[in-house]
Amino acid sequence: MKLRLVLIAAILFAITLIPAASALTNSAATTNCSATVKKKLLSNIKSQSQALGKKDYKTAIAFATAKFRAQVSLAQFTSIIAQRYSFLGNAASFRIEDCQLIGTAIHSGVRVTDTANVSYYLFYVLQPQSKKEAIAPNKTGYGIAAAQLGEIEPQAIYQ
Write out the chain's pLDDT in tens, 159 residues: 443 434 344 434 433 333 333 333 334 456 799 999 999 999 999 999 999 999 999 999 999 999 999 999 999 999 999 999 999 999 999 999 999 999 999 999 999 999 999 999 999 999 999 999 999 999 999 999 999 998 644 444 443
- Give pLDDT, residue 29: 59
The helix (H) or strand (E) run that includes residue 108 is strand 105-114
* 44 in Cβ contact with 63 (< 8 Å): yes
- Helical axes 74-84 vs 2-24, angle rounded to 10°: 80
- Give pLDDT, residue 130: 94
Which residues, 6+ apart, have CB-to-CB distance to 53 below 8 Å?
Answer: 88, 89, 90, 91
Q: Which residues pair with 94 in a beta bridge?
A: 112
Q: How far is the C-alpha of 52 from the C-alpha of 36, rounded, in Å?
A: 24
- What's the distance, Cα to Cα, between the start and end of the chain in Å? 36
In this structure, which amino acid lies at residue 53?
G
Alpha-carbon Rg for the chain in angstroms: 15
Say what the pTM is: 0.76
Q: How far is the C-alpha of 128 from the C-alpha of 20, rounded, in Å?
A: 15
Q: Tens of pLDDT along 123-155? A: 999 999 999 999 999 999 999 999 999 864 444
Give the CATH number of domain 2-157; options: 2.30.29, 3.10.450, 1.10.1750, 1.10.1740: 3.10.450
